[in-house]
Amino acid sequence: MIEVKPDAEISAIQDDLKRRGVKYCMGTYVDIHGIPKGKVVPLSHLHHMAHGSELYTGYALDGLGQAPNDDEIASVPDLDQIIQLPWQPEVAWMPADNTLYGEPYMLNTRVLLKSVLKQAEAMGFGMNLGIEAEVFLLKKDENGKLVAPDPDDKLKKPCYDTRAFLSNFSWLDKMATSINELGWGLYSFDHEDANGQFEFDFNYADAVTTCDRFTFLKMMAKEYAKEEGLLATFMPKPFSNKTGNGAHFNMSLYDLETRENLFQCRPSDDPNGLGLTELGYQFIGGILKHGPALCAVFAPTVNSYKRLVRQGDMPYFTWAPVFNSYGSNNRTNSVRVPMGGGRCESRNADGAVNPYLACALVLAAGLEGVREAIDPGKPQETNLYELSEQEREELGIGFLPRTLDEAITAFDADPFVEQVLGKELKQEFIRYKRAEWNEYHTAVSQWEIEKYSHLF
């Protein structure tokens, strides 16, 4: 059963929300793509909502595994994670878990993540997660083409451009102020490596909380962009000649009793000098073992693989990982141990990620690495983009999938995926992603028309 708070506690929450001017409650879960879904109820209905009164036709949603004749699923809001909308304070947003007949519905990816965290808890571990949020702030020109709103934001290498920060101050200020007032601990934000692109970095938290915050942040960025007459997109690769939107996962395990970071050690105690414990290396070993399959959920769209290229239509390297490897502060690996150690970073996650689904699988992979004491080998410290194929093969470095089709094939072929997701959720993901690939593969693009229509 999904735990529901006592009525007295719900009443206290309701009274507090009323004092803060809240009129409506929005219980939100995500579909298989990570897209928020839910219903809005008057504050007076919170008691009913907290007990699963709001029902949903699962067949109307992607990836919930229901047919038209199936009973409705319910959602139960998490009243420990309430966020009052900064731009619409009459509304309180609440992440929710799906249930069926009062039991957790395992095709809900937030429910799935909680179940994998239970496995970690049985081993004495909790999981901390930080997600680096990269986003494009854009507008449409007179031809409907996406462009940076600031006409002077056109440097070839615009990363950390302070002038562009001031040009977009209104939107950035709204975002930064809200992140801080929500208590997330914003510690840095900057202009990223593409024109019109920004990144927000805030404190890590437990895995579920960070996934909730990332989901909310995407909605908030879009709403504040609308107020500026602009649009915000976390699309992995909106421009062929610019870097894309990553959503790097920074992960560590902690001791449930002491809260001690179990990946952290002094560099002098680490034979590789990275400041990572043996447990941390084993966790990375599990990630690399299942790297190709994990790519399908970290980079879940056709567009994702326009980002995961060495160079592409650009004069310099993209920073996106294409190799199933790890290293220290070497961004050509898919898994990085940042300076100072104590965590590992999966770099192939992008802005289209369903954070709950990806986190569930990568955590399960890491836990398998711990259980099986998998050695990831020596860290790769060279620029992997510049290796010859022979050098790469001699080092035993494999490529990650290079298309969504390859990623889904790897996802389908790895028995580990079904062990974690169950057969039904695994097949739901494959079904939708195969359909997405087929739709893309049979569509006729403008590039094809311009290249071939005058030739034949």
User: What digits encode the pLDDT tens for the residues 370-389?
Assistant: 999 999 999 998 888 888 88
What CATH number did the domain enclosing 21 receive? Answer: 3.10.20.70
The mean pLDDT of the chain is 94
pLDDT for res 155: 84
Q: What is the pLDDT of residue 313?
A: 47
Angstrom distance (rounded) from CA 333 to CA 224: 34
- Assess whether 203 and 290 both reside in one domain: yes
Angle at 128 between CA 245 and CA 279, to 5 degrees: 110
Residue where a domain stops, chosen among 80, 104, 128: 104
Same domain (yes/no): 83, 132: no
* Residue 133, domain member (yes or no): yes
Query: Residue 456: inside a domain, yes or no?
Result: no
Looking at the fold, whether 84 and 180 belong to one and the same domain comes out as: no
Query: CA distances (Å), 313 to each of 112, 299, 326, in order?
Result: 38, 19, 26
Same structural domain for residues 191 and 95? no
H/E segment holding residue 252: strand 249-255
Residues 69, 195, single domain; the answer is no
Same domain? 100 vs 125 = no
Q: Report residues of the chain scoring pLDDT below 70.
A: 1, 311-319
61 with 150, same domain? no
Domain's final residue, options 52, 71, 104? 104
Domain assignment of residue 263, yes or no: yes
Q: 277 in a domain, yes or no?
A: yes
Q: Please report whether residue 164 resides in a domain.
A: yes
Query: Do 319 and 331 form a contact (C-beta atoms < 8 A)?
Result: yes
pLDDT given for residue 122 in this prediction: 98
∠ CA 256-79-38, nearest 5°, is 120
Return the pLDDT at 154.
Answer: 84
User: How many domains in the chain?
Assistant: 2
- CA geometry: angle at 135 spanning 161 and 129, to 5°? 110
Domain of residue 339 covers 120-450
Residue that has been written with the tokens 């708070």 in this structure: 5
The answer to whether residues 379 and 429 belong to one domain is yes
405/381 Cα distance (integer angstroms): 30
pLDDT score at 318 = 62
What per-residue confidence (pLDDT) applies to 384? 86
With beta carbons less than 8 A apart as the criterion, state whether 372 and 286 touch: yes
What CATH number is associated with residue 276? 3.30.590.10
Last residue of a domain, one of 71, 104, 137: 104
Nearest to 302 by CA among 185, 223, 404, 188: 404
Note the pLDDT tens digit of each residue in 140-196: 998 889 999 988 888 888 888 888 888 899 999 999 999 999 999 999 999 998 999
Q: Are residues 139 and 186 in the same domain?
A: yes
Answer yes or no: do 86 and 151 share one domain. Answer: no
State whether 372 and 326 are in the same domain: yes
Predicted pLDDT of residue 382: 87
Q: Is 112 inside any structural domain?
A: no
Residue holding tokens 């057969």? 423
Q: Are residues 316 and 250 in the same domain?
A: yes
